[in-house]
Structure 1
Amino acid sequence: MKFSKLVNFFKNPHGEKIQRLKERYQELDELSNVAVKIGDGAAYRSLQAEMREVFFDYLTAIVVDSIYSLVPHVIIICIISLKWPTVTLPLVNWEISIFAGYFVCYISYYLSKGILGFLKSRFSSKNALLSAESHIINE
């Protein structure tokens, strides 16, 4: 149980703080809208000032979280580059730096993951539609 908490912390160290700030910002936005509806200018200005503070805290937490997510990749690149500073592409026989190779692999992984997810959702919705149509035709 403690190990999973540790893994979740390293995976998303500021997730709870980001979520809390996002919810607070939405709450302040709703209160600000109410202040506009009732015509309370002082409350509106006060809420807008607090919204700015919460928004900048939210942005700061997102930037710090992004930096934390980049650190493992930098460490991996450094470790790999100690052994292999360049990589040779097999088909074209080009040598590229390990940083460029890692970056291309990283981008390719997430692009293929996104494309496969899109295709999977696309085909599953078509299959659901076809099965619904065949069920209606059979009845």
Structure 2
Amino acid sequence: MSFETLPDGWQVWNEEPSGRAILVYRPDVFGGDDLPSACLPTIYLTNGSRRKRPGAGQYATDEWHVVLYLEPEIEAVAETYDTREQGAHGAVDVAERFADGGVDYRGAYQVPRDAYFERLDEYVG
């Protein structure tokens, strides 16, 4: 499956021959003070290990993981699929939910970032 059906604002950042893929949301508006580039919403599709040990992600597993990051350490969604095709469909579903306002990005943060959330609300949902 390719990512031709991504919702508005999402684009493929990278798709590797091994099947791993990275999708990003509105890279054209992230990079300023109110929407910092570190906060670029990013969906990873990977069969790499999800262990928290350094280098663990380089080891392939039998499962495919879809993870929506709001920042490098802020996960808003994490789902697991049996095949790459199911994972790709899952990644598109997560992108659609995010774009439609169906992902509670405020709830993923321990420390509220009200000004950032208000600005992001202008693009989401």
TM band (smaller chain) = under 0.3
Task: Say which structure is richer in helix.
Answer: 1
Task: Say which structure is richer in strand.
Answer: 2
Higher RCO (CA < 8 A, seq sep 6+): 2
Rg (Cα) greater in structure:
1
